[in-house]
Amino acid sequence: MTFEHENLLSSVRKPGRYVGREWNSITKSLAETDVSVCLAYPDAYEVGMPNLGLTILYDIINRDPGAVCERVFSPWPDMEAVLRESGTPLWSLETQRPLRDFDMLGITLQYELNYSNILALIELGGIALHASDRKEDEPLVIGGGPCVYNPEPLAPFFDAFVIGDGEEVIQEIIDFLKSTKNTKSTRMDKLQRLSALEGVYVPSLYEPAQGQIKRRILADLESFPPPCRPPVPNLEVVHDRFQVEIMRGCGRSCRFCQAGMVYRPIRERSVPTVLQAVREGLANTGYNEVSLVSLSSTDYTGIVAATQELVGEMSRKAVTVSLPSQRVDAFSVELADIIGGGKKTSLTFAPEAGTQRLRDVINKGVTEEDLMRTAEIAFASGWRKLKLYFMVGLPTETQDDLDGIVDLAYKLRALAMEVVPKNEHGRVNITINVASFIPKAHTPFQWFGQDTLETLRDKNSYLRDRLKKSYLNFKWHEPTMAKLEGALARGDRSVSKAIEAAYKRGARFDSWHEYYDYDLWLAAFADAGLRLEDITDRTRAGDEELPWDFIAPGVSKTWLRKEFEKALDALTTTDCLSGCAGCGIKCQG
């Protein structure tokens, strides 16, 4: 790090966010590599460092002797001010190179409320904000991640997007960059060659007549071993543990869940692969906790074998094992007991809706009997803290559904008072977390509109007033954030003007309450000649062309529409674990 960089860091909070040099970070000489890539996560270092997708790509690229991959995260507002005042371009962690000096800037599109940060990353890195304005020597800016399933709101700022799994296509992109290095290939030549790769969408070249952009699907998860030597953060981060992805995809078919739709089919790693990755990863990092990651870890067929083996082995090393997702059933409590080693912290479940009718509408596959039986086992086994997640504003929701959330909370409280010894009643803690429904692309609910902001606020207030009781805690997600996320998730390319206007008005870190400003965003939409409510509140017709229809995620639009119709009649669909639902994805086996 140069004296100039060190001098800049002396005036910002948490300079450790920008210095790099972490244990296991990789630095290569430019003389020994042909292609350079910088991977960017558009949020603070503490949020971006644990991202598993970034870790996977960092490992794959750096395994190539002819390529180097470095990292960058969004600078905190104090750091952005210092960079702008000094005229210093944002740099990578590993070698402090300006972002403009890389061959490719890869940006993870993880969350819609990070969009203003994306624009800041590009411009602070010394790169032209609009793809159409970039010069021949500027890096290709390529996006990937969950939000690319509707890339249109960000299309003017990106040269290309990768749709789907990145393990195979990232090597294809690296090979392509090598082949064009030190040649007379123009930027247009590169974009045309990129667009020929399966799963790559180049907005400036795409014509609907070309057909749909097919998502890349990694058929065999075993063919790419989990990264076992990730950089260890300099600072405390949000998920400070070693992670191993044990399974990709989810077969539960919840109609509101985008991840459950676009990450199909289910693909598993073998138990020996998981165990070996855990052992190597802990030895290489020094972590004292490992998380077995997937969308529904208790559905992993090897979960009992893996957890029993790990708990027995890791308990001798004072290493804990955790699961990020749990089903509402007795098996989840049994599993939590196994991995907790007798330690009782809290259990988290997501019924999502307060009545069986509405749970059938969303195809949740959970009954009140499931929840009460699971809670009874948990309380009887020594668990005293229970967290439950619900949504308000779900399609077809009525007052009875809201009252159902309240009734469930009080039934759980009464159950706890009955099962838990009286001298431990004071330890019982039941938390009801409520978020607002956000329709997402490529789900059966993509046609539904959101409740108005006033309606969402009224529903939250109604629940809050009825759940202000002893042993019950009520938490809710800010409804205006849900409205903004909904507009960015379902907007067309015209929404890019609102994003740029918000960025120029100073929007940054919109997922952080201390910086989030809804009025600023309303003004930005007005600047763009748009009304946010026109995007969020309107229900789409079944034959309407949607902004993301040209993306083919594998699940067919016809099947999604059938699921929409079944939802209106509160009819359920079998999960993939019990039988094929005919969604259009070609599964193995």
Where are the chain's structural domains?
3-214
Whether the CB-CB separation of 448 and 546 falls below 8 Å is answered with: no
Q: Is 525 helix (H, G, I), strand (E, B) or coil?
A: helix
Question: Residues 528-546: pLDDT tens digits?
Answer: 999 999 999 999 999 999 9
DSSP secondary structure of 219-259 = S-GGGSPPP--PPBPSS--TT-SEEEE-EE---S--TT-HH
Q: Round to whole Å and give the CA distance between 198 and 155.
A: 18
| Nearest alpha carbon to residue 10 among 74, 70, 66, 86 | 86
Phi and psi torsions of 436, nearest 5°: -95, 140
Its pTM surpasses 0.75: yes
- 354 contacts 391 by C-beta, under 8 angstroms: no
Residue 588 pLDDT: 55
**Number of CB atoms found within 10 A of residue 207's CB:** 7
Alpha carbon of residue 5 to chain centroid: 32
**Tokens 């855990």 — which residue?**
278
Query: CA dist 121 to 97, 98, 233, 439, Å?
Result: 14, 11, 20, 28
Per-residue tokens: 193? 């060659």
Ordered per-residue pLDDT tens for the chain, 589 residues: 666 788 899 889 999 999 999 999 999 987 889 999 999 999 999 999 999 999 999 999 999 999 999 999 999 999 999 999 999 999 999 999 999 999 999 999 999 999 999 999 999 999 999 999 999 999 999 999 999 999 999 999 999 999 999 999 999 999 999 999 888 899 999 999 999 999 999 999 998 767 899 999 999 999 999 999 999 999 999 999 999 999 999 988 999 999 999 999 999 999 999 999 999 999 999 999 999 999 998 899 999 999 999 998 988 888 989 887 677 887 888 888 888 766 777 889 999 999 999 999 999 999 999 999 999 999 998 989 999 999 999 999 999 999 999 999 999 999 999 999 999 999 999 999 999 999 999 999 999 999 999 999 999 999 999 998 777 999 999 999 999 999 999 999 999 999 999 999 999 999 999 999 999 999 999 999 999 999 999 999 999 999 999 999 999 999 999 999 999 999 999 988 888 888 998 775 4
- Report how far residue 35's alpha carbon sits from residue 102's, in angstroms, rounded to the nearest whole number: 8
| Two structure tokens written together for 179 | 């082949």
Q: What pLDDT, in 10s, does the model give residues 489-504?
A: 999 999 999 999 999 9
Give the model confidence (pLDDT) of 192-205 as tens digits.
999 999 999 999 99
Residue 32's pLDDT is 85
Non-local (6+) Cβ contacts of 145 within 8 A are 53, 108, 109, 110
The dihedral of CA 457, 454, 505, 161: what is its sign? positive
**H-type alpha helices, 50-146:** 52-63, 77-86, 115-124
Residue 394 CA, chain-centre distance (Å), reads: 21
Domain 3-214 bears CATH identifier 3.40.50.720: no
Asked if 38 and 92 count as a contact pair (C-beta separation under 8 A), the reply is: yes
Peptide bond into 146 cis (omega under 30): no
What is the DSSP code (8-state) at residue 487? H
DSSP state of 101: G
- Find, among 313, 316, 300, 403, the residue nearest to 358 by Cα: 403
